[in-house]
Amino acid sequence: MNRFSADQTPHIWFTLTNTNSVDCTFNAGAKVQYFTIKSGDEQIWTSRQCDRDNLTDSEIVLKASQTISSPAQPWEKVFSSPTGCGTDETPVATGGASYHVEAEVSGELSSNDQQFVLD
């Protein structure tokens, strides 16, 4: 489990692995990438509430057995809301608070839940 001190900014990303024996083509662009951070059953932050106007689609070919990673993005330790998800939003709890992050790509691929703690 990852732990972040008060002065550290967590970064979120995903990796995709083609476990098939044939190449796979699909949209993995930023426009169809979503991250959700929860604490227990409460949704804390979701990239669905971020400004997504300038994000694009990107068809990729993931070769058999190949793994790729998305660019790491900072999470500013704030709640998201209908007004956005940036640094001007309400800060989240720290001091040992536990969070879980999940990623979704193209509405079909979801990540394993990854836990982390904000000290």
Indicate which CATH number applies to the domain containing 60.
Answer: 2.60.40.10
Overall number of domains in the chain: 1
pLDDT (0 to 100) of residue 110 = 74
How much is the pTM?
Answer: 0.90
Question: Considering only CA atoms, which of 14, 90, 86 is closest in space to residue 51?
Answer: 86
Q: At residue 88, what is the residue type?
A: D
By the 8 A CB rule, do 79 and 90 touch?
A: yes
Joined together, the tokens standing for residue 1 give 């489990």
Please list the residues that pair with 38 across neighbouring strands: 43, 100
Query: Rounded distance, CA 101 to CA 86, Å?
Result: 17
In this prediction, residues 2-7 reach a mean pLDDT of 94
What type of residue sits at position 40?
Answer: G
Structural domain boundaries, residue 107: 2-118
pLDDT of residue 1: 74
Closest CA to 17 of 105, 114, 115, 113: 105
Q: What is the pLDDT of residue 96?
A: 96
What are the tens digits of pLDDT across the range 100-119?
999 999 887 677 889 999 99
* Tokens encoding 119: 């000290």
pLDDT in tens, 6-48: 999 999 999 989 999 999 998 999 999 999 999 999 999 999 9
Task: Report the amino acid identity of residue 8.
Answer: Q
Confidence tier at 67 by pLDDT (50, 70, 90): very high
